A and B are shown apart, each in its own frame.
Chain A
């Protein structure tokens, strides 16, 4: 299929490669910053656009991959759907559930496929934990804790640093784990959250969540954009007959460059495996497009994840738990 990459930043470049690996052709790269689009387009011999809203409707494009700042997801999805394009969209789906609903309605009306990249569902370690916990081999899961995060993403001035656009660590980063907990353990009942969302004197965000699931499980979820460096994921699942632990810092491969590029950048966790989770989500999405499979994550799942993050942020504001 012919693909237009919309948003040619960190994730756009990654998705272009993943799509190409699946046999798709990158025909158009669009970014509000022409230079960003041009740099990526050159790599794939694609056309360049600095007008994303018209790029999603461009002739000769079958599939649109949206990797732009979160608030732009809805208008881009609506325009792409209207033009009859299938859509891959980065998480978080949208800034709020109201927008998610509109996006789903647009895709349904246009009868196009809409996939949201909740990539943690494809991470091998998370799949291994889910399989073990669900197997019952070590009893029933009663409590879990997941911590995720590292340095505050984006250079000064980046959209990540504007909480109105990124939703901070809770909406942008912790949403991975909120989605995964629901994926592995069912629907949430209520959520409580404390979050910093500071800009002064240093910009940092730190979010601490307790979620009660309908099946009784308690999930403690920590999201951090407050670390001076690095990125780390830790998970612990306690069951009635044992426990599962995972720590990304305890890895088979570690590289520490003596010098680093100037300025902080968004670190994307990579498991050194034959097929990266990003590749797997593209393969699954592709089977869906071809009519030979269904993806493990639906747009409604992605909306449920936004609803959880939205409830968490509401709880943080009110200082009380929020029912889901």
Chain B
């Protein structure tokens, strides 16, 4: 098989690290170069992953790569996608695909126009417990699903995540899209209405954005959903956070705690207990599909439109909070 050459644009989002690891682990794939507007960070990452750092974006896109992974700040996705698409690269874009629906639509349109594949990085679709949960639902174990209760908690990431100009919003922006995408994927239904209470509930001294959104959604057919998007896990918490979904169905209930494959380690040096995960890597599946999509000249399994749909939900959540109403998506 011919080698697929891929570049990474920006390590602003820490997920770039996992994707780089996944690329390095794949046969017939070359991590050709890293571009980063933070040259120091870019050089360090290039060194770590044994590849080249290219400071100039045009020079980076002029390389003979077939694809790029874009892991910059949310607000910088659009500019990078448009440039990469114009250069004919296949694109995997970090979530949320954009902070605004306008940007998300422009991203999808740019890739369509350039006839390049566009994927959104929703690695949760590659989490085995969630895959198994979807299989149960698809097999009819729950019958009709009536309601879902979800969480996507995390610790406060700080940095640009809490700079609205770069992120577009706080925890509600960061931690709604995974679950919005999972709901659409697992139930095969679109999200039609959104309500949200949000605020800076826990980090008033350190953050300017919201750190928590209590989101309610309605899906096609009237499925009732609540979801907590948060950066509420304290520094002393035993792990980074979670993705959980409790499904209430006609024939039964199903609870999935996607990252609850762990051992608990009591560490005297840390002074607390921490989880050590043993589950499969999500990034491997996501990145393998992206590489296959480049090879097969098709869209990745999770498309740019999936990213757009999730962003529509997030922006509806902020609008719902601003207006104090449940709003249509």
Q: Which residues of A contact B (CB under 8 A)?
A: 138-139, 142-143, 145, 147, 190, 192, 194-196, 198, 201-202, 204, 206, 208, 210, 212, 216-218, 220, 222, 224, 226-228, 238-243, 319-321
Q: Which residue of A lies closest to B203 (CB)?
A: A240
Establish whether residues B202 and A239, one from each chain, have CB atoms under 8 Å apart when the complex forms: yes
Q: Are B326 and A241 in contact (CB under 8 A)?
A: no
CB closest residue in chain A, given B196: A210
Among the 9-residue stretches B56-64, B132-140, B224-232, the one with 4 or more Cβ atoms under 8 Å from chain A is B224-232
Known pairs A198-B146, A208-B226, A220-B228; list 20 more (Cβ under 8 Å): A139-B202, A143-B202, A147-B149, A190-B324, A194-B218, A196-B147, A196-B224, A208-B149, A210-B195, A217-B201, A218-B201, A222-B226, A238-B201, A238-B212, A238-B230, A238-B232, A240-B205, A242-B234, A320-B195, A321-B324
Of A190, A195, A196, A218, most buried by chain B (CB within 10 Å of CB) is: A218
- Tell me the smallest distance from the CB of A7 to a CB of chain B, in Å: 30
Interface size class of B (residues with CB under 8 A): 35 or more
B253 A319 Cβ-Cβ under 8 A: no
B248 contacts A206, CB within 8 Å? yes
Q: Of B197, B203, B251, B325, which contacts A320 at CB under 8 A?
A: B325
B250 and A243 form a contact (CB under 8 A):
no
Interface residues of B in 203-249 (CB under 8 A from A): 203-205, 211-212, 214, 216, 218, 224-226, 228, 230, 232-234, 236-237, 248
In the complex the two chains form, what is the Cα distance from A88 to B253 in whole Å? 37
In the bound complex, do residue B216 and residue A194 qualify as a contact, i.e. CB atoms below 8 Å apart? yes
Are the C-beta atoms of A243 and B237 separated by less than 8 Å?
yes
Q: Across the interface, do A143 and B326 meet the contact criterion of CB distance under 8 Å?
A: no
Chain A residues in 8 Å Cβ range of B233: 243
Determine which residue in A201, A212, A217, A238 has the highest number of CB atoms from chain B within 10 A of its CB, and name it: A238
Give CA–CA (A208, B216) in the complex, Å: 8
27 contacting pairs across A/B (C-beta < 8 A): A142-B199, A142-B232, A143-B202, A143-B230, A145-B228, A194-B218, A195-B224, A196-B146, A196-B248, A198-B146, A201-B250, A202-B250, A204-B248, A208-B147, A210-B226, A218-B198, A220-B226, A226-B146, A226-B147, A226-B248, A238-B202, A243-B232, A243-B234, A320-B195, A320-B325, A320-B326, A321-B195
User: B193 within 8 Å of A by Cβ?
Assistant: yes
* A319 contacts B193, C-beta separation under 8 Å: yes
Q: How far is the CA of A239 from the CA of B237 in the complex (A)?
A: 13
CA distance A206 to B149 in the complex (A): 10
Across-interface contacts of B79 in A (CB, < 8 A): none
Using Cβ atoms and an 8 Å threshold, which residues of chain A touch B279? Answer: none
Partner of A227 from the list B147, B230, B253 (CB cut-off 8 Å) is B253
Report the bound CA distance from A145 to B202 in whole Å: 14
Q: Which residues of A contact B211 (CB under 8 A)?
A: 142
CB of B50 within 8 Å of the partner chain: no
B226 touches A228 (CB 8 A): no
| Given contacts A142-B201, A320-B326, A218 and B224 within 8 Å (CB-CB) | no
Bound-state Cα–Cα, A238 to B236, Å: 12
Q: Does B252 contact A (CB under 8 A)?
A: yes
Contacts of B195 in A (CB 8 A): 192, 210, 320-321
- Asked if residues A210 and B224 are in contact (CB atoms below 8 Å), the reply is no
Contacting residues, chain A, for B204 (C-beta < 8 A)? 240
Q: How far is the CB of B176 from chain A (nearest CB, A)?
A: 14
The chain A residue with its CB closest to the CB of B213 is: A218
